[in-house]
Amino acid sequence: MTGLRQSWVESANDPETDFPLNNLPYGVFSTDGKGPRCGVAIGDMILDVAGLEAEGILSAGDPPVFSEPSWNAFMELGPEGWAGFRGALTALLAEGSSLRKRVEPFLVPMEDARMHMPMAVAEYTDFYAGKNHAMNIGIILRGPENALPPNWLHIPIGYNGRASSVVVSGTDVRRPWGQLKGPDMEAPVFAPCKRFDLELEMGAIVGVPSNGPVTVQEADDMIFGYVLLNDWSARDIQGWEYQPLGPFQAKATATSISPWIVTKAALEPFRASTPEREKELLPHLVEPGPMIYDIDLMVTLAPEGKTPTVIAETNYNRMYYSAAQQLAHHTTSGCPMRVGDLLGSGTISGPVKSERGSLMELSWAGKEPLELDSGETRSFLEDGDTLTLLGAAKGNGYRIGFGACSGTVLPALDDPYAR
């Protein structure tokens, strides 16, 4: 594993920064008086690559790819274009770069920037690939005998989510209304969700299209990068709607992602293996190498006006299936994949209570409310709660961070049909 690479941007050499020269994640930012544009995080600064491209100092391709505030056009360049640009960017920002004087004017302090969606999400798929999570939910809903669905150890099961509901970190999330029916209710009601929850996930972004079945290796090669992802979930709405067609409105209010796409290239030193198979996979789903990543993850919950409590800490390498396996499975039917497709990993939970990635698991469906540092307890999310996911791969003297994935729960509307 290589160590920290030195940059002339001083703050990028801090061993505690999320954004050393080794990282160089891609986002879209705006500042007072200047609209959204593509940028790269470096230390506590953002490099305005759209500006650099416009000035002819840095080019990723011809025609230009940063004229729109989204990384989709860049992704379309494919792996060679990605590698070339990352190389040029690294040279530009490395200690001793001869271009420093020309580049410096394009650095913007991160604290002055507002972040936007880094890409247009083509389609969003959410998986269910964490075994501890699937077991926990299964035990809660169906008891220990039938906890794991029969297909679970054979395919990374998933469902199509709603791309239009994906939002960037910092976007408030309004508690939804929905149709729900508790086991003790005679008829369903239309009411605000009472069991609003988070799901700690990673999101993989597809950067190469496909049009037919792809192998796991090809799928891995198609992935552009990763983000943190919180799949906000209305458990009571889900309980009533999900049979037999799966989650629908319960998962359609919002899915938050962290604003920086951390490239697969930056994560290369942190490749890890998924856990040992409990049942042999069919050959088309077997990983030819390590395709999950060693990324420490943390969730904090802050009630309104209170300090945050760490409610879960786990690692992405807990997942039974990698994003590459999920993507390969996604294409088996011939389903075309497109640049900008987003794949949620499924909730990441470890084997012990402190590693559980949802309140449904942490409070065991409300039976064991969680105690916060403020003295309050939580079974599910309350209005005003701010949820934050954090993640970083930790190298030798540096870290590859994702930046925060945050969202605050707003109260449900009084009347959802008032205009």
Interface residues with its own copies (CB under 8 A) are 122-123, 128, 149-151, 154-155, 157-165, 174, 176-179, 181, 187-190, 212-215, 234, 237, 240-250, 252-254, 279, 282-284, 329-330, 332-338, 341, 413, 416-417
Q: What sign has the CA pseudo-torsion 217, 202, 84, 336? A: positive
Backbone angles phi, psi at 327, to 5 degrees: -65, -40
Closest by CA to 327, choosing from 305, 316, 348, 342, is 342
The least distance separating its own copies from the CB of residue 356, rounded to whole angstroms, comes to 19
- C-beta of residue 262 within 8 angstroms of C-beta of residue 23: yes
- Indicate the pairing of strand 124-127 with strand 342-344: parallel
- C-beta of residue 143 within 8 angstroms of C-beta of residue 60: no
The least distance separating its own copies from the CB of residue 220, rounded to whole angstroms, comes to 14
The least distance separating its own copies from the CB of residue 88, rounded to whole angstroms, comes to 31
Residue placing its CB nearer to its own copies in the complex, 179 or 307 = 179
Q: List C-alpha distances in Å: 387 to 183, 206, 253, 393.
A: 29, 26, 15, 21
Closest by CA to 224, choosing from 252, 197, 248, 203, is 203
Residue placing its CB nearer to its own copies in the complex, 42 or 166 = 166
The least distance separating its own copies from the CB of residue 63, rounded to whole angstroms, comes to 18
**Run of H or E residues at 127:** strand 124-127
Q: Which of 116, 133, 329, 330 is catalytic?
A: 133
Residue placing its CB nearer to its own copies in the complex, 76 or 294 = 76
The Cα–Cα gap between 299 and 285 comes to 31
- Indicate the pairing of strand 405-410 with strand 173-174: parallel
SS3 of 25, please?
coil
Contacts of 387 (CB under 8 A, 6+ apart): 198, 230, 299, 300, 301, 381, 406, 407, 408, 409
The Cα–Cα gap between 15 and 18 comes to 8
Residue placing its CB nearer to its own copies in the complex, 98 or 164 = 164
Active site includes 133?
yes
Residue placing its CB nearer to its own copies in the complex, 158 or 259 = 158
The least distance separating its own copies from the CB of residue 101, rounded to whole angstroms, comes to 42
- Indicate the pairing of strand 26-31 with strand 34-42: antiparallel
Residue placing its CB nearer to its own copies in the complex, 28 or 167 = 167
The Cα–Cα gap between 212 and 335 comes to 6
Indicate the residue type of 92. Answer: L
Residue placing its CB nearer to its own copies in the complex, 159 or 364 = 159
The least distance separating its own copies from the CB of residue 128, rounded to whole angstroms, comes to 6
**Run of H or E residues at 313:** strand 309-315
Contacts of 212 (CB under 8 A, 6+ apart): 331, 334
The least distance separating its own copies from the CB of residue 245, rounded to whole angstroms, comes to 4
Active site residues: 133
